[in-house]
């Protein structure tokens, strides 16, 4: 598995230097993006636990898509990617979207997933229309709004980071202060209400925090795959622990880990990644593939890379979790069978 060893020397040294550049955190922009990924891990990782436990996974997905028109409108205020206006626009449409979901659910017999699917696609459709309007305009053509589909963490600016830090502080404070209330109302809403807790308000509070977390994450992971940053780390953590506080910690850890490693991978240059691809493909032995075609022209967007890393951690936990892993269970069953057999043999002797 010693890939760097088989890489062409030139690529290998480039790989090492790029890795060193990233992990030394000497470069200001690397520091900024890495800090942002860490903060996003904290926000999305912690809130994701409650989103998963309350079975609201689709909410993250719909709100994630619903911010696109807001981002476009925010862009149109100054015709530049001013973080504040983008934030205002995204927050506005996310709020409208969540209110609409609630309105549709209250006023029709449609199931929640249908209401969310409607809002998701409707907002995204309008967002795409606005995006083409912007791209048709001479001022918007080079706006780089396309990054918001799949994210480009490297483009996070110092101003963006300030905003992310501020919002994360609000989210952390919110979760810490209401942790007990969030926990009991997520587990048993009826009981929480019988204690006199305002369960509806707690729900909206959680939704508002989640909306904020989504809005600050779009630059880094993009609107399309945003829900994974909420769901996957939390689900991974759920496989590993039986305690809610520990689940939140683990979830934050996984989200931040995937964020930073994903940033690292997507910051590698196209040559290095192509070098890797060549190695992988020759090892796999698919000579039928035209290797010349498997070339990246640019570094990949951050979102998909982060999501894949998250998926890999999830898969690992699913198989090897000490308590609930598939392999662990199989292993235990084997042990039991063997012990039983041994016991029977012992008895027959």
Partner 1 sequence: MTNSNSPPPCVEIHDLTVSYDKKPVLWNIDVSLPEGELIGVIGPNGAGKSTLIKAVLGLIPADSGWVRVYGEPLARQRRLVGYVPQRESVDWDFPVTVRDVVLMGTYGRLGLLQRPGKTERDLADRCLADVGMADYRNRQISNLSGGQRQRVFLARALAQQSKVYFMDEPFVGVDAATESAIIALLRTMKREGRTVIVVHHDLQTAPDYFDSILMLNMRLVAFGPTAKVFTPELLQKTYGGRLTILTEAAERVAGTRR
Partner 2 sequence: MTSAGVLVADVLLAASRLLPSFDLHEHVFDLWRGAALPDTIWTVSMGGLVALACAWLGCFLILQGQALLGDAISHTVLLGIVVAALVTGSVGSGSLLLAAAITGLLTTSLIEAIRGASRIKEDAATGIVFTSLFALGVLLLSTLASKAHLDPQHALYGMLEFVPSGEKSGIFGFPVPVSVLRMFVLCLLLLAGLVAFFKQLLVTSFDRQLAESLGMRPRLIRLLLLAALSLTVVGAFSSVGAVLVVGLLVAPPATAYLMTDRLPRMLAWASFFGVASSLVGYHVAYWLEVTAAGTMVAVACFWFTLAFLFAPREGVISRLFRQLVLRVRTGHENIARLLLKLGAIPECPPVSLKTLADSGDRPLALVTTIVQQLRWRGWIERVEGTGGGGVRLSNRGLDHARRLDRAHRLWEAYLVERVGIAHDHVHPTAEEIEHLLDDQLVARLDDALGHPGVDPHGAPIPRVPVSEDRPTVFALSRLQVGETGRLVGLSPSVDSPRTEPQTPETEAIIALRFKLGERFRVVQRDVAGGTWTITLDDGRRIDTPHVLADQILVDVEANTAGAAG
Contact residues for partner 1, defined by CB under 8 A: 53, 176-178, 180-181, 183-184, 186-188, 190-197, 238, 241-244, 246-247
Rg (CA), the chain: 23
What distance in Å separates the CA atoms of residue 201 and residue 207, rounded to the nearest whole number?
10
**What's the token pair of residue 232?**
């996957």
CB of 241 to partner 1, least distance (A): 6
Contact of residue 56 among partner 2, partner 1, none (CB under 5-8 Å per partner type): partner 2
What distance in Å separates the CA atoms of residue 153 and residue 34, rounded to the nearest whole number?
8
Contact of residue 124 among partner 1, partner 2, none (CB under 5-8 Å per partner type): partner 2
Answer for the pair 68, 127: CB distance below 8 angstroms, yes or no: yes
CB of 177 to partner 1, least distance (A): 6
Place of tokens 């040294």: 13
Contact of residue 300 among partner 2, partner 1, none (CB under 5-8 Å per partner type): partner 2
Residue 329: CA count within 13 A, CB half-sphere = 7
Contact of residue 296 among partner 2, partner 1, none (CB under 5-8 Å per partner type): partner 2
Q: Which is nearer to partner 1, 23 or 191 (CB)?
A: 191
Q: Which is nearer to partner 2, 26 or 78 (CB)?
A: 78
CB of 175 to partner 2, least distance (A): 19
CB of 342 to partner 2, least distance (A): 28
Q: Which is nearer to partner 1, 280 or 326 (CB)?
A: 326
CB of 314 to partner 1, least distance (A): 16
Q: What sign does the CA torsion over 88, 91, 94, 98 have?
A: negative
CB of 213 to partner 2, least distance (A): 15
Q: Which is nearer to partner 1, 30 or 250 (CB)?
A: 250
What distance in Å separates the CA atoms of residue 248 and residue 176, rounded to the nearest whole number?
11
Terminal alpha carbon distance of the chain: 48
What distance in Å separates the CA atoms of residue 349 and residue 342, rounded to the nearest whole number?
11
Contact of residue 196 among partner 1, partner 2, none (CB under 5-8 Å per partner type): partner 1
Q: Which is nearer to partner 2, 20 or 84 (CB)?
A: 84
Contact of residue 110 among partner 2, partner 1, none (CB under 5-8 Å per partner type): partner 2
What distance in Å separates the CA atoms of residue 230 and residue 245, rounded to the nearest whole number?
16
**What's the token pair of residue 126?**
């309008």
Contact of residue 183 among partner 2, partner 1, none (CB under 5-8 Å per partner type): partner 1
3-state secondary structure of 249: helix
Torsions phi, psi for 299 (to 5 deg): -65, 150
Q: Which is nearer to partner 1, 200 or 286 (CB)?
A: 200
CB of 31 to partner 2, least distance (A): 26
CB of 274 to partner 2, least distance (A): 8
Q: Which is nearer to partner 1, 164 or 240 (CB)?
A: 240
The DSSP H or E segment spanning 214 is helix 199-221
Q: Which is nearer to partner 1, 144 or 322 (CB)?
A: 322
Nearest alpha carbon to residue 72 among 223, 206, 292: 223
Contact of residue 97 among partner 1, partner 2, none (CB under 5-8 Å per partner type): none
- Please state at what angle helix 244-267 crosses helix 226-240, rounded to 10 degrees: 130
């Amino acid at each position: 598995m010693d890939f760097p060893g088989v890489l062409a020397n030139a690529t290998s040294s480039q790989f090492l230097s790029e890795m060193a550049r990233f992990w030394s955190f000497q470069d200001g922009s690397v520091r900024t993006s890495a800090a942002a990924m860490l903060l996003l891990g904290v926000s999305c990782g912690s809130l994701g636990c409650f989103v998963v436990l309350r079975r609201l996974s689709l909410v993250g997905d719909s709100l994630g898509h619903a911010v696109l028109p807001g981002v476009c409108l925010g862009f149109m205020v100054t015709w530049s990617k001013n973080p504040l206006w983008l934030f205002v626009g995204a927050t506005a449409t996310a709020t409208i979207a969540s209110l609409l979901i609630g309105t549709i659910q209250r006023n029709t017999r449609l199931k929640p997933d249908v209401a969310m699917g409607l809002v998701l696609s409707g907002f995204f459709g309008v967002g795409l229309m606005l995006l083409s309007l912007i791209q048709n305009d001479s001022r918007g053509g080079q706006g780089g709004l396309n990054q918001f589909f799949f994210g480009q963490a490297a483009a996070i600016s110092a101003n963006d980071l300030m905003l992310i830090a501020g919002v994360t502080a609000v989210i952390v404070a919110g979760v810490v202060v209401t942790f007990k209330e969030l926990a009991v109302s997520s587990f048993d809403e009826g009981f929480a209400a019988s204690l006199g807790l305002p369960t509806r308000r707690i729900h909206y509070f959680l939704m508002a925090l989640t909306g904020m977390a989504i809005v600050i994450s779009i630059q880094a992971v993009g609107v399309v795959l945003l829900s994974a940053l909420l769901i996957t780390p939390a689900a991974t953590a759920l496989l590993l622990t039986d305690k809610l506080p520990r689940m939140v910690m683990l979830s934050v850890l996984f989200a931040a880990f995937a964020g930073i490693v994903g940033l690292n991978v997507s910051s590698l240059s196209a040559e290095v990644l192509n070098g890797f691809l060549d190695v992988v493909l020759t090892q796999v032995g698919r000579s039928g593939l035209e290797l010349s075609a498997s070339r990246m022209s640019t570094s990949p967007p951050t979102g998909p890379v982060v999501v894949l890393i998250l998926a890999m951690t999830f898969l690992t936990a699913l198989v090897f979790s000490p308590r609930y892993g598939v392999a662990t269970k199989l292993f235990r069953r084997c042990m039991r069978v063997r012990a039983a057999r041994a016991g029977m043999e012992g008895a027959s002797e």
